[in-house]
Structure 1
């Protein structure tokens, strides 16, 4: 039983990573048989992984039918960001009002990391810049996690955390070029500055601005690409 549970976790992490990175395109079919053959797993752990991803909003799962990677639509993206704009500005404002200096240390460290990345990125050639996107995503992920960890309202923090699976794959669409990525760095720098200076109003405003800019970048990206059509899955075997 423990071995099966471990295999389900491996399959889940692999599929989640492929969905969030868009290696598995929205609408792609997720055949339990095909996945099992490619990932070296029986149908039970594959089915468990797919159901778990469906609960997180990454898979459209209808019992008795082939599951598919959840599609990305303009309407869905707008609804998601409307909800995020209700939550995240309040969360960063909450962090900025903390009376405990130690809570702000991760944000001061992130400010230094953002500055270092920015300076390094601007010196790279275009081909090298493309290889740096993973580092950028790790920075923004660290910021999001730091806000969740430091948020003074645990219900608010939990809700934001539960949305992360749906927002993760959108990050690859909203930062589709170096210009937008550098702009996003500036937006994160503004949020970090406001938080470390304990300026709740500025932190909230900077967060709203960042979300609005990200939404517009997503709209631009989605209207120039087709993310409603599926594709057959091709995965490397999990070791």
Structure 2
């Protein structure tokens, strides 16, 4: 595979960020001409970025047709989380075991614990408007946790597979944290996962990760089935999945 040029990489990162943050909605058209004008790039780097995003499952692309942002369906979400349930609890457990043997691996997790405590105190002291503006800070902490697990996981195949799913996972994050109540629940779930890992409790790390995934899936199902106005009419809801 040819190495991406600086321009195609910039276009790719911009489109990926817009898709993950839902600024580009599921089902939205990705016309090469329009994107070229908006991004100040020729059609070649735009086409390369679209094909790369298609390989990651974020874009539906058929040569000769207009590409679209991949839809979000209940069936797809369930399938993704079924797969994540096989991977992430095992990774969390392995990190807890490795950290018990080598304290140096726990440094980023202890840092995240402190960041989470600081965020919790600050978040609870804010009004609803300020809390809504604080969501990105929590997203950054939770993303830091996921990346720390990937980095500390001793099984490279497991770590790589989890990393390859990140784009799909990040896109759904904005739907699962649909309000301050879910935000605080997710915060407690991350606190439990961090506590289990830093204490070297393998079984608790597995259980805490599994519980977090189950709760996140439930929040996503509720969001996808009850907030159509928020999600937009172009989202495909495959309730049979």
TM > 0.5: yes
Under a length normalisation based on structure 1, what TM-score does the superposition of the two structures give?
0.93
2:223 to 214, 221, 224: 221
**1:151-206 deviation per Cα after TM superposition (whole angstroms, max 9, x unaligned):** 01010000000000011010000001010001000000000000000000000000
Counterpart check, 1:68 vs 2:59? no
Aligned match for 2:162, one of 157, 160, 167: 160
**Where do residues 97-108 of structure 1 align in structure 2 (5 Å cutoff)?**
97-98=97-98, 99-108=101-110
Q: 2:144 aligns with which of 142, 165, 180?
A: 142
CA distance in 1, matches of 2:196, 2:143: 18
Structure 1 equivalent of residue 207 of structure 2: 205
Q: Distance in 2 between matches of 1:29 and 1:77?
A: 22
Q: How far apart in 2 are the matches of 1:151 and 1:96?
A: 9
2:188 maps to 186
Q: Counterpart of 2:13?
A: 13
Extract unaligned runs of 5+ from structure 2.
236-241
1:229 Cα deviation (Å)? Answer: 4.0
Equivalent residue number for residue 236 of structure 1 = none
Could you tell me which residue of structure 1 aligns to residue 29 of structure 2? 29
Contact 1:71 1:228 in 2 (8 A): no
- Structure 2 length normalisation: TM-score? 0.92
Determine the C-alpha separation between the residues in 2 that align with 1:225 and 1:14. Answer: 27
Q: Distance in 2 between matches of 1:10 and 1:158?
A: 23
Task: Give yes or no for contact 1:36–1:43 (8 Å, CA) kept in 2.
Answer: yes
Name the counterpart of 2:239.
none
- Residue 91 of structure 1 is matched in structure 2 by 91
- The Cα offsets for residues 89-139 of structure 1, whole Å up to 9 and x where unpaired, read as 000000000111100111111111100000000001111111111101000
Correspondence for 1:77? 77
- Matched residue, 1:237: none
